């Protein structure tokens, strides 16, 4: 009985062991299937880094069959530059540590892939290190996406920070949360000095703060604010005019969380606006100067005319003759002064003549003495013989005037302005200090030097750039020296500058010398031609001038009809059309102007001879562009001789028959 019981117990034990064995086999089979079906790669390496097992997923990830990997060193799959990573990690396994790290492996086709590996050490029954179990995940695509994202963020950062406009983000209280490099550069701050520390109110002027305090609270309702102009304050205290466009930002719950703004530097626009305003002011000054010059020319015409008539009635030995000659000289000087006023206040087309530099500079210095303050002494140093120039005197006056004004500004406490000229000869092209394109030959070196504050090399490098100026806002347009440079180059000349801080400046203008002789306006000694009883129609709104011209013409053999405006002139012309030999019209009379009257007369009789006279600059007084047949021009002020000579010349010329279309 005992043996039977013992046998039954053995049988039950055997059955239990058999079931346990089958269960273990089933579990092993499940684990094997789990490993082989896993999406992650699994491998086992021994203590020498030799691969002892790989699952299909790991083999597929590298493009191998499983048996091709068994027995290979894991290092054979890894690029050499990554070997130190694997060796370091193996040492950690030997110490019993588990870890996760990234490493690259080469596929069978030579492609390099990135893997994330989780590794645990394997030990035998005695606890000795026998290798490692690793689970791998192919993260190549993830790394590529990360790299693409990184490049995208770099591009965005580059666009954001190097954009021509400024960008910033503000908290609801106006504190800077973000700002790009462009705006930081404008303001002169470092990022750490402004983010979370300063508010928008700290970097705007008082007016800008008031505007922002008014508009920012409205953002939550209005959401956007466009074209807001204000001035920001740089770290050094200077002002930066900007235009902002501001957009509100809201969180997921719709609560207002601040705003972002685009900021545009409008310094250049504001500069151009000021220059336009200055140009408009100059235009108004020019118009005013032209009107004043017109009135002065009428006065001077009468003064010069009556003085010349008085001189003719007095004998040369009469003691009053010298007094009247002085009046005549002063009147002629006044006429030159009016021409200079017109030249500097209005634009004129270039008209080059041959001039004597000594006479030109002497007259120019006289003009400068009336313009520059008494604290500035003017010295003129001119050689005996310097040759003649072929130049536009008005433009040359502008060159000297611009340089003199700059010299004045460089000597606020006074000093000495020296103007000199001398003849120089360049033996070879580009002789220093002239540029390489300067041809050899004789030049007049006209120098303008001051004892002012001087210029740094950085300023000298830019002084001829349009709109560049070192003067404060409103004190200069930045065009003076660029205009000087353009005029000098247009005359075939060259310009050099020497200057140092605290040592003044010297501008040397080199202009080609001409062999032609300077023209001199000398009145002929012969008497002006007399009329042969021709009828002259005079029209002028100045009664004094009308009486003067009538007296001059009648005493020289002409008959005269007088009209006080263009309307009377047209009426008298119609009444005496067959007799009138010449019509003399003031160009700008009230009601009907001389220009309008001339057109009406020529429409009725295209062969009529007309002389238009004006106190304005002909280029600016409404006469520019007028091309009327048989029409001539005479600018006031003129002397009786000039009037008689002009009339005599017109009457001696044959009438031009108009071209019929």
What pLDDT digit, counting tens, does each position of 325-360 carry? Answer: 888 877 877 776 676 566 555 544 446 788 888 888
User: Residue 626's pLDDT is what?
Assistant: 52
pLDDT surpasses 80 at 510:
yes
- Specify which of 246-250, 337-341, 650-654 reaches the highest per-range mean pLDDT: 246-250
SS3 content of the chain, % helix, strand, coil (to 5): 45, 25, 30
> What kind and span of H or E run contains 101?
strand 99-106
User: Residue 329's pLDDT is what?
Assistant: 78
658 pLDDT band (50/70/90 cuts)? low
Any idea which fold 535-652 has? Answer: Rossmann fold (3.40.50)
User: Residue 233's pLDDT is what?
Assistant: 95
Any idea which fold 273-344 has? Answer: Helix Hairpins (1.10.287)
pLDDT in tens, 579-598: 999 999 998 888 888 889 99
User: Residue 524's pLDDT is what?
Assistant: 40
3-class DSSP state of 576: coil
The CATH classification of domain 161-269, taken from the options 3.30.450.20, 3.90.1150.10, 1.10.645.10, 3.90.45.10: 3.30.450.20
- Please give the structure tokens belonging to residue 303: 């003064």
Do the domains 38-143 and 161-269 sit in the same CATH topology, yes or no?
Answer: yes
**Nearby residues of 91 by Cβ (< 8 Å), 6 or more positions away:** none
pLDDT surpasses 80 at 186:
yes
- Specify which of 125-129, 297-301, 486-490, 566-570 reaches the highest per-range mean pLDDT: 566-570
**What distance in Å separates the CA atoms of residue 215 and residue 422, rounded to the nearest whole number?**
66
pLDDT surpasses 70 at 467:
no
CATH number of 357-514: 3.30.565.10
- The full set of domain ranges for the chain reads 1-32, 38-143, 161-269, 273-344, 357-514, 535-652
Share of the chain above pLDDT 70, in %: 86
pLDDT surpasses 70 at 100:
yes
Other Cβ atoms closer than 10 A to 389 = 27
Place of tokens 């009327």: 628
Mean pLDDT for the stretch of residues 373-398 = 85
Among 274-288, 393-407, 409-423, 535-549, the least confident range:
274-288
Of 286 and 608, the structure prediction assigns the larger pLDDT to: 608
Based on its alpha-carbon atoms, the radius of gyration of the chain, rounded to whole angstroms, reads: 49
Among 166-170, 245-249, 289-293, the least confident range:
289-293
User: Residue 290's pLDDT is what?
Assistant: 67
User: Residue 242's pLDDT is what?
Assistant: 94
Other Cβ atoms closer than 10 A to 90 = 20
12 pLDDT band (50/70/90 cuts)? confident
The top-level CATH class assigned to 38-143 is alpha beta
User: Residue 477's pLDDT is what?
Assistant: 47
User: Residue 617's pLDDT is what?
Assistant: 56
Look at the alpha carbons of 319, 325, 331, 334 in this order and tell me if their dihedral is positive or negative: negative
Place of tokens 């008005």: 394
pLDDT in tens, 133-177: 999 999 999 999 998 888 888 888 888 888 899 999 999 999 999
Q: Phi and psi at residue 641, in whole multiples of 5°?
A: -60, -45
Among 102-111, 429-438, 451-460, the least confident range:
429-438
pLDDT in tens, 17-49: 777 777 676 676 666 676 777 788 999 999 999
In 3D, which of 405, 453, 445 has the Cα closest to residue 425? 445
**What distance in Å separates the CA atoms of residue 167 and residue 263, rounded to the nearest whole number?**
6
pLDDT surpasses 60 at 659:
no
CA distances from 505 to 365, 412, 445 (A): 19, 14, 16
DSSP string, 148-166: HHHHHHHHHHHHHHHSSSE
**What distance in Å separates the CA atoms of residue 77 and residue 66, rounded to the nearest whole number?**
14
User: Residue 471's pLDDT is what?
Assistant: 56
**What distance in Å separates the CA atoms of residue 192 and residue 477, rounded to the nearest whole number?**
38
pLDDT surpasses 80 at 423:
yes
Residue-averaged pLDDT of the chain:
84
User: Residue 348's pLDDT is what?
Assistant: 43
């Amino acid at each position: 009985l005992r043996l039977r019981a013992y046998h039954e117990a053995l049988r039950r034990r055997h059955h239990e062991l058999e079931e346990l064995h089958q269960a273990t086999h089933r579990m092993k089979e499940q684990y094997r299937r789990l490993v082989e079906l896993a999406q992650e790669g699994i491998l086992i390496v021994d203590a020498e880094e030799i691969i002892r097992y790989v699952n299909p997923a790991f083999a597929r990830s590298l493009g191998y069959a499983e048996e091709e990997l068994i027995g290979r060193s894991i290092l054979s799959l890894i690029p050499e530059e990554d070997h130190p990573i694997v060796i370091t990690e193996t040492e950690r396994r030997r110490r019993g540590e588990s870890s996760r790290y990234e490493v690259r492996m080469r596929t069978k086709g030579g492609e390099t892939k990135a893997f994330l590996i989780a590794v645990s050490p394997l030990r035998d029954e005695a606890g000795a290190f026998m290798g490692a179990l690793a689970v791998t995940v192919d993260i190549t695509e993830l790394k590529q996406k990360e790299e693409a994202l990184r490049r995208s963020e770099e591009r965005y950062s580059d666009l954001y920070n190097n954009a021509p406009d400024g960008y910033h983000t503000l908290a609801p209280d106006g504190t800077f949360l973000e700002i790009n490099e462009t705006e930081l550069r404008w303001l002169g701050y470092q990022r750490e000095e402004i983010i979370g520390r300063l508010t928008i109110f700290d970097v705007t002027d008082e007016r800008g703060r008031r505007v922002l305090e008014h508009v920012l609270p409205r953002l939550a309702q209005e959401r956007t604010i466009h074209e807001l102009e204000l001035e920001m304050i740089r770290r050094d205290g200077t002002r930066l005019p900007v235009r902002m466009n501001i957009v509100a930002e809201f969180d997921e719950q719709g609560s207002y969380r601040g705003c972002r703004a685009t900021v545009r530097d409008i310094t250049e626009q504001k500069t151009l606006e000021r220059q336009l305003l200055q140009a408009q002011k100059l235009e108004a000054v020019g118009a005013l100067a032209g009107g004043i010059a017109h009135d002065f020319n009428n006065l001077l015409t009468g003064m010069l005319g009556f003085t010349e008539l008085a001189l003719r009635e007095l004998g040369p030995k009469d003691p009053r003759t010298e007094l009247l000659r002085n009046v005549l000289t002063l009147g002629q000087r006044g006429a030159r002064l009016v021409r200079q006023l017109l030249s500097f206040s209005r634009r004129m087309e270039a008209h080059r003549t041959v001039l004597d530099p000594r006479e030109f500079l002497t007259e120019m210095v006289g003009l400068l003495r009336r313009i520059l303050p008494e604290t500035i002494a003017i010295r003129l140093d001119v050689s005996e013989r310097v040759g003649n120039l072929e130049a536009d005197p008005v433009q040359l006056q502008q060159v000297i005037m611009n340089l003199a004004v700059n010299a004045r500004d460089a000597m606020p406490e006074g000093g000495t302005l020296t103007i000199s000229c001398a003849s120089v000869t360049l033996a070879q092209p580009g002789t220093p200090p002239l540029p390489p394109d300067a041809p050899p030959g004789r030049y007049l070196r006209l120098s303008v030097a001051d004892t002012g504050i001087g210029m740094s090399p950085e300023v000298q490098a830019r002084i001829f750039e349009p709109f560049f100026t070192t003067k404060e806002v409103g004190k200069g347009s930045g065009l003076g020296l660029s205009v000087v440079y353009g005029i000098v180059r247009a005359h075939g000349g060259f310009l050099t500058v020497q200057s140092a801080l605290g040592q003044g400046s010297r501008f040397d203008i080199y202009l080609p010398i001409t062999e032609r002789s300077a023209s001199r306006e000398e009145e002929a000694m012969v008497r002006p031609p007399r009329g042969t009883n021709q009828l002259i129609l005079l029209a002028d709104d100045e009664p004094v001038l009308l009486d003067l011209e009538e007296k001059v013409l009648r005493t020289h053999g002409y008959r005269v009809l007088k009209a006080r405006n263009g309307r009377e002139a047209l009426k008298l012309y119609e009444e005496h059309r067959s007799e009138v030999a010449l019509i003399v019209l003031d160009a700008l009379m009230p009601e009907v102007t001389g220009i309008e009257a001339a057109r009406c007369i020529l429409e009725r009789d295209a062969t009529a001879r007309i002389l238009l006279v004006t106190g304005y600059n002909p280029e600016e007084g409404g006469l520019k562009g007028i091309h009327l047949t048989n029409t001539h021009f005479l600018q006031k002020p003129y002397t009786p001789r000039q009037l008689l000579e002009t009339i005599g010349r017109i009457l001696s010329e044959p009438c031009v028959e108009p071209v019929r279309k």
